[in-house]
Chain A
């Protein structure tokens, strides 16, 4: 599925991986998180090789929010802490402090089915943040949202990331999202996935959604879109052959 994907994320950086669907983006994150093993190659954290037993070392937020329907919002977000052996009382105390920032205040006792899509996603993100690992992997976190909510969430995430000081690896197929959020964007080729180009995003921070329509943004976007388009055309051509 993947073939020679080399990339790095420095501490505190936000790096995006973008590519045509089916290029193995999720496989890549699964591998980093430790759910899958690479046939060849390695995963390094903090410059040290972590061969086996990577599970539990990085925070991983998957596409689905995976909130447990039998747990209240509060008990859902403390799941990571609980697994690590933090007592429920302490974990809840820590979570309550962050609920406000994640727009979940007043909903701590609600069950997930009562929440909107955006709130569920923020709860899933809070669960990942509370797990408090230095590296967080986000797999299309806003994929299922409507455009407006997504734009809000993206702004919110850049702001939050600034204050968290975490390294984030974000997988997306949304060009605007990748550029708006990241320091660097890796464009993957179609199957087998390889790194096609790397785009450095040197837009000033803090970033706002309106930048999407401004000149510097568009200039970088043009290059990125061209690279992506070349890839998707190649896929189409191959499928016709």
Chain B
């Protein structure tokens, strides 16, 4: 054989940017996230200092320490409302995911369906959700249903758009390759178009899961008797600023955690995509 394995292996090795040392892999995330953590810690420090030095009343702007205290003292109450909001987010998002992917599939499959469906999909996003939410309240009432619908409405759009783009992103040459192998339309769809679509779909999911939290809070503001959004707006009218802030912190944490879970799933389910992207970034840098 002309090409030996050793030589081929040598082809693959790319020079490392930094010399390796034991535990480097473990340390890397710490190094990477250090600047972000530093900025957040510094901002909190400045905030605490400004509040203390200027003697700002707590109902105007509570100090971070006061918010932390509230988070701990009212943990039972906060947690109860967090669960409510989380449930609305998850159910609404699940509905958006299923309907969004189905809709994208339909749009992709037929030009006619695309012309019929796509404009209404886009129109549904141009009407502000804050306008629709009260109307929905009249139709479906105060229950959880209302919040779930608002969440689904706000989060299905990024899923549809990204999935449609993803289905179209398959390399035409790769489709031709499959055709020369005798593949039928379904095989082309399953073996080329769906896998090409997955990274796009995950981008959509990451956007959608983040806006779902906003959707749930909007829904609760418009009308509800529980959830973090409800708690925030009620505490506001009682001048319990610490509690408003505490609820806000929990909403942000919820959004960040859900995003992180989506990113982690993407990494586990599409290892090739993650590594390819990372390698490109390393080589580019």
What is the interface of chain A, defined by CB distance below 8 A to chain B? Answer: 33-35, 55-60, 62, 64, 66, 68-70, 79-80, 82-84, 101, 103-107, 111, 113-116, 118-119, 122, 131, 152-153, 155-156, 159
Contact = CB atoms under 8 A, between A and B. Distances in A.
Q: Which one of B176, B180, B195, B270 has the highest number of Cβ atoms from chain A below 10 Å of its Cβ?
A: B180
Interface stretch (B87-95, B219-227, B254-262, B273-281): B273-281
A208 to B, nearest CB: 10
A55 B191 CA distance: 17
B182 A66 contact: no
Given A69-B276, A83-B178, A119 B2 contact: no
Given A68-B174, A79-B191, A103-B1, A111 B183 contact: no
Interface residues of B, number: 32
Contacts of B174: 66, 68
B12 interface: yes
Contact of A56 (B180, B272, B276): B180
A35 B178 contact: no
B40 to A, nearest CB: 35
A131 B272 CA distance: 25
Given A79-B177, A106-B5, A107-B8, 4 more contacts: A55-B179, A55-B182, A57-B182, A84-B182
Contacts of A153: 2-3
Contacts of B273: 69-70
Contacts of A105: 5
A156 B3 contact: yes
Interface in B1-59: 1-5, 8-9, 11-12
25 contacts: A34-B179, A35-B176, A35-B180, A55-B180, A55-B182, A57-B182, A58-B180, A60-B177, A69-B273, A70-B195, A70-B270, A79-B181, A79-B191, A83-B182, A84-B182, A101-B1, A103-B1, A103-B4, A106-B5, A111-B272, A113-B275, A115-B12, A153-B3, A155-B2, A156-B2
A59 B180 CA distance: 7
Nearest to A155: B2
B173 interface: yes
Contacts of A55: 179-180, 182
Contacts, number: 94
B124 interface: no
Nearest to B184: A83
B187 interface: yes
Contacts of B11: 115-116, 118-119
B192 interface: yes
A124 to B, nearest CB: 9
A114 B180 contact: no
Contacts of B271: 111
